[in-house]
A and B are shown apart, each in its own frame.
Chain A
Amino acid sequence: MESLSDIQIGQIRKDFPILSAKVYGKQIIYLDNGATTQKPRVVIDAISEYYSEKNSSIHRGVHFLSEKSTMAYEQARESVRNFIHARSSNEIIFTSGATGSINAVAFSFGEKFIKADDEIMISGMEHHANIVPWQMLCERKKAHLRIFPFESNGELDPEKYKKLFSEKTRLVAFTHVSNTLGTVNPVKEMIHLAHQYNVPVLVDGAQAIQHGHVDVQDMDCDFYVFSGHKIYGPTGIGVLYGKEKWLEELPPYQGGGDMVDKVTFEKTTYNILPFKFEAGTTNFVGAAGLKTALDYITSIGIDKIAAYEKELLVYATEKLSSVESLKIYGTAKNKISIISFLLDNVHQYDAGMVLDKMGIAVRTGTHCNQPVMDYYGISGTLRASMVFYNTRDEINRLYEGLLKVRKMFHKDH
């Protein structure tokens, strides 16, 4: 697969204003993309232009601006449909983010299909947003949460996954890519297996959508969720993809404007898809920003991005592994460009503080993923999460930073 050249990366970096910022007088090295990605100028401009030229509530009123705004919103929906290869734009629901999407499914699916003693399966590597909503549902319905574990290299064990299915399994939810370990799960095979048991699957794409080609029809997932801000779009906008047959059957998550057909004090009938799940004034500006981000990514090519990020991962893994007493958590064969690691005898918080003062932004702590930390018996890690605007040179700077950290914390211990 064709990658991106250093010259192209140099051009791409110019598209992101924040990448030329300085912190503590040093050029910023942003390696916390797993938490949120930076925004290209086109996205920033799209948001600003929206408020300057189009701002008006959608699906209301016949006036010019409202029409223009509605059109922009529905075009954004169509862009998302196209990006993830959904069959129909009725299957694309705008939400506040991946967390909002999972909560919506946990509520609506739970209301309709979950009763006492039913089982919901999730993997042991889920981040909190794909654990807690299911726990809340189980508590509400007196159902049970079942966990299929991962191995020490960060890969799921297909046998253990298969074994967990029972007659009571009603839904399976797992992540496409682990936010801590970087593992890319074999989602297609896992979904296929779940379907053999007639169990629908929700895939959390929060860490996958920005790193590679996603085709929900080919994957055959029943639900797919992601956040706009992790794919270079604005915060506060996200997507819930659901197969139409499910979305038709599920009751709405929230009530309010836009999701209704007819309201009387006796009874309310609901709007058709996709509006049934979009209560209140939606984040139409966010949707337009997300569309711009997806167009931007498409113009570069998601496959080229994936190929370049793979090269970065290989380079960074090799470079970091050469730091004495550095341990990487998550060594799956199929990984995206996330590296969680610890330096022996150095607390991740100490290392993160020192790197910060060198202008290097990494994440420290549990990454909203406490069960994974418990599995390894650690209190947290450092995490470098790279995307296509990062460079080998930045990884060299991280490497040098880590050598310095080692020197500082090892001399007296």
Chain B
Amino acid sequence: MTVQETQENIIKEFEVFDDWLDKYDYLISLSNDLPVIDQKLKTSENLINGCQSKVWLTAELTDGKMVFTADSDAIITKGIISLLIRVLSNRDPEEVMNSDLFFIDRIGLRENLSPTRSNGLLAMIKKMKLYALAFYTMQNTK
């Protein structure tokens, strides 16, 4: 499934909710699906410190595919992280680098990416793409 298709699937899943609280309920359940992060990875190096919530992110390249591991101290932020990982994990660095993340806007969570919200998500997406750029450069300079 492409980045585009995965995002469209997520949008469809969210279409069934006409109430905000149901949407949040769904995000809470998604946060539980996110694999528990190894405490050892919760280092200051991996920490993206938002004013409102904290996000930890790390990435590795396995068989040419990027695998992201992430966590947050806030559940709703964590729910959104699980969606981001679903869209961007297990992909070529190039795909991640060039991805256009439109689903957040379409499922009505754009406010979560506002710089003033400062929950670490916007910085997390930037860091995901930076990882992708680094891996891509690494692959192409070998």
Contact = CB atoms under 8 A, between A and B. Distances in A.
Nearest to A345: B75
A354 B21 contact: yes
A330 B28 CA distance: 30
A234 B90 CA distance: 52
B24 A354 contact: yes
Interface stretch (B48-56, B124-132, B133-141): B48-56
B37 interface: no
Given A353-B24, A357-B20, A380-B52, A412 B32 contact: yes
A347 B53 CA distance: 8
A172 to B, nearest CB: 29
A390 interface: no
A350 interface: yes
B96 to A, nearest CB: 26
A380 B52 CA distance: 8
B74 A412 contact: no
Given A364-B52, A365-B52, A380-B52, A347 B25 contact: no
Interface in B48-67: 51-54
A350 B51 contact: no
A349 B24 contact: no
A352 B76 CA distance: 11
A349 B21 contact: no
Interface string A265-280: 0000000000000000
A86 to B, nearest CB: 37
Given A350-B75, A379-B54, A409 B20 contact: no
A352 to B, nearest CB: 8
Interface in B61-87: 73-77
B52 A349 contact: yes
A187 to B, nearest CB: 30
Contacts of A350: 74-77
B98 interface: no
A412 B51 CA distance: 26
Interface in A271-312: none
Contacts of B74: 347, 349-350
B44 to A, nearest CB: 15
B119 interface: yes
Interface in A322-365: 346-350, 352-354, 357-358, 364-365
Contact of A366 (B28, B51, B73, B76): B51
A130 to B, nearest CB: 19
A64 interface: no
Interface in A182-222: none
B75 A347 contact: yes
A361 B4 CA distance: 35
A218 B109 CA distance: 52
Interface string A383-411: 00000000000000000000010001100
Interface in B19-45: 20-21, 24-25, 28-29, 32
A365 B75 CA distance: 15
Given A347-B74, A349-B77, A350-B74, A365 B51 contact: yes
A347 B73 contact: yes
A24 interface: yes
Contacts of A352: 52
A412 B76 contact: no
A220 B10 CA distance: 63
Contacts of A347: 53, 73-75
Contacts of B20: 24, 357
Contacts of B75: 346-347, 350, 409
A366 B54 CA distance: 13
B71 to A, nearest CB: 12
Given A350-B75, A357-B20, A412 B52 contact: no
B76 A353 contact: yes
Given A353-B24, A412-B32, 17 more contacts: A24-B20, A347-B53, A347-B73, A347-B74, A347-B75, A349-B53, A349-B74, A349-B76, A349-B119, A350-B77, A352-B52, A357-B21, A364-B52, A366-B51, A379-B73, A408-B21, A408-B24
Interface of B: 20-21, 24-25, 28-29, 32, 51-54, 73-77, 119
18 contacts: A346-B75, A347-B53, A347-B73, A347-B75, A349-B52, A353-B24, A353-B76, A354-B21, A354-B24, A357-B20, A357-B21, A357-B24, A358-B21, A364-B52, A365-B51, A380-B52, A409-B75, A412-B28
Closest 4 CB pairs of A and B: A357-B20, A347-B74, A349-B74, A349-B53
